[in-house]
Amino acid sequence: MAQKEDSPRTTIILTLVTLAIGLYALAYGLQTTFYFQAHSWAMRTPFLRETLQPLPSTAASPVQTKNISFYGMNFSALWKGIASQKAQDAQSAVTFNAGPIIVFFDPQIEADPLETIRDGDPNLYTRYQQIFGHDLFPSTYDLYAAVYGASPALLSPVMSRGQMDRVAALLLWKLNLGSDGGTAIYSVKAAGMRGIQLGDPSRDHIVSVRLFDSRNHQYRMLFTSTKGPGTYPQADINCVLDSLTPAPQRE
């Protein structure tokens, strides 16, 4: 008799469990799937877990070499003695006798992700507006800051679909933009501009910096050295960034 009484009870319990699973899958199935997918990406690409942090030090080394000029911009550097200087259409480089190398990219041809979205596929633009709002981001810097501030840690299996869509888009952008080999992400303020630094000179072979001025122009520089990582401090990079100014116009 006990078995006959338990059978309907078991059926009801199983039905309720099945219903609960179905409702969860309907409400949070996609969020749960992407939650595990993003953490899988992070296992293969640990940089995805890194987020934007304040620069450890804003101190700058004293200037030793002045008036290095590329693409209408001047900057100075700590290091004395230029071993070579190569100016090209898309990017130019200066190598110092002590080993450091600065690569400066032509600001006129730097891609702007916001312009690419606005001028690209209208359906994709509309989709991004649905995720981030009508104006997307106030500036290109704000886009980069949001992208490099995102990580799988922001995800939850039970978050709203709208929140998941936002984090998912930022993480996909982050994977696409990459890290230039850097293992850290820092926010930078220099020469009256805001920027993003990818990499730590104490351990990374390449440090990449993007600075954005108030008119949404961007200036991209790479720092490396023939002697490898750990051969110059952050203060040397700060020296260069703080000195970045438009070159005087020739009459």
Residue with tokens 């690409």: 45
The strand pair at 100-105 and 218-225 is best described as antiparallel
Q: Tens digit of pLDDT for each residue in 161-174?
A: 889 889 999 999 99
Q: What is the mean pLDDT of the chain?
A: 87
Q: In the prediction, which pLDDT does 17 show?
A: 57
Rounded Cα distance, 224 and 205, in Å: 6
54-110+179-246: CATH, from 1.10.3470, 3.40.710, 3.40.1000, 2.60.40: 3.40.1000
Do the beta carbons of residue 67 and residue 74 sit within 8 Å? yes
Rounded Cα distance, 97 and 114, in Å: 39
- Helices 2-44 and 161-177 pack at an angle, to 10 degrees, of 30
Q: Tens digit of pLDDT for each residue in 182-220?
A: 999 999 999 999 999 999 999 999 999 999 998 889 999
pLDDT band of 111, cuts 50, 70, 90? confident
Q: Which residue has the higher pLDDT, 26 or 62?
A: 62
pLDDT band of 24, cuts 50, 70, 90? very low
Query: Domain boundaries in the chain?
Result: 54-110+179-246
The answer on pLDDT for 2 being more than 60 is no
The answer on pLDDT for 49 being more than 90 is yes
